Chains A and B, each alone.
Chain A
Amino acid sequence: MLKILKNITVVDIYISDMGIVVPANGSYSITITEAPMWATSIDVISPVNNGDIVVNNGLIDLSAIDGLRFLQYPDRATIQKNGTDVTEVSTIVNFEGPEFTVTNNGNGKTTVRVDALGAFSDTMYWANCVCHCDGLMFSDFEPLVDYTYNAIKVEDC
Chain B
Amino acid sequence: MSNKIGPVYKSGVARSTPFDNSSNGFTSTEVQSAIEELQYNLSNSASPGFTYGRSGNLPQSTWLLDDTVPSNKSGRVNFLNNCIIRKCFIANEDPTIIKVGIYTHDGDEVNLTLINTVTTLAQRTNYFDLSVPVPINKQIAIRIQSDSPNSAKNMDVGLLLQGNLV
**Do A and B belong to a common assembly?**
yes
List residues of A whose CB falls within 8 A of some B CB.
12, 14, 16-23, 26, 28-31, 33-34, 37
Q: Are A26 and B59 in contact (CB under 8 A)?
A: yes
Q: How many A-B contacts if CB must be within 8 Å?
A: 42
- Tell me, in angstroms, the Cα distance from A30 to B146 when the chains sit together: 19
Chain B 106-124 per-residue mask, 1 if CB under 8 angstroms from chain A, else 0 = 0001000000000000000
Q: Are A37 and B68 in contact (CB under 8 A)?
A: yes
The 3 closest A-B pairs by CB, nearest first: A19-B63, A19-B70, A21-B61
B102 at the interface (CB under 8 A from A): no
Contact pick for B57, options A21, A29, A33, CB 8 Å = A29
Residues on the B chain within 8 Å of A20, using CB: 59, 61-63, 70
List residues of B whose CB falls within 8 A of some A CB.
55-57, 59-65, 68, 70-73, 109, 143, 146
Q: Are A17 and B73 in contact (CB under 8 A)?
A: yes
A117 to chain B, nearest CB (A): 26
Q: Are A19 and B56 in contact (CB under 8 A)?
A: no
Q: Are B55 and A33 in contact (CB under 8 A)?
A: yes
Residues on the A chain within 8 Å of B71, using CB: 19
What are 11 sample pairs from A and B whose C-beta atoms fall under 8 A apart? A17-B73, A19-B143, A20-B61, A20-B62, A20-B63, A21-B60, A21-B146, A28-B57, A29-B57, A30-B56, A34-B56
Q: Are B59 and A21 in contact (CB under 8 A)?
A: yes
Residues on the B chain within 8 Å of A16, using CB: 72-73, 109
- Tell me, in angstroms, the Cα distance from A21 to B143 when the chains sit together: 11
- For A14, the closest partner residue in chain B by CB is B61
- For B71, the closest partner residue in chain A by CB is A19
Q: Are B62 and A19 in contact (CB under 8 A)?
A: yes
Q: Are A23 and B55 in contact (CB under 8 A)?
A: no
- Tell me, in angstroms, the Cα distance from A23 to B64 when the chains sit together: 16
Q: Are B56 and A31 in contact (CB under 8 A)?
A: yes
Most buried by B among A22, A23, A29: A23
- Tell me, in angstroms, the Cα distance from A22 to B62 when the chains sit together: 9
Q: Are A34 and B55 in contact (CB under 8 A)?
A: yes
- Tell me, in angstroms, the Cα distance from A20 to B59 when the chains sit together: 8
Instruction: Using A23-B60, A28-B57 as known contacts, list a sample of 6 further A-B pairs with CB atoms less than 8 Å apart, ordered by residue number in A.
Output: A12-B61, A14-B61, A16-B72, A21-B59, A21-B61, A34-B56
A68 to chain B, nearest CB (A): 20
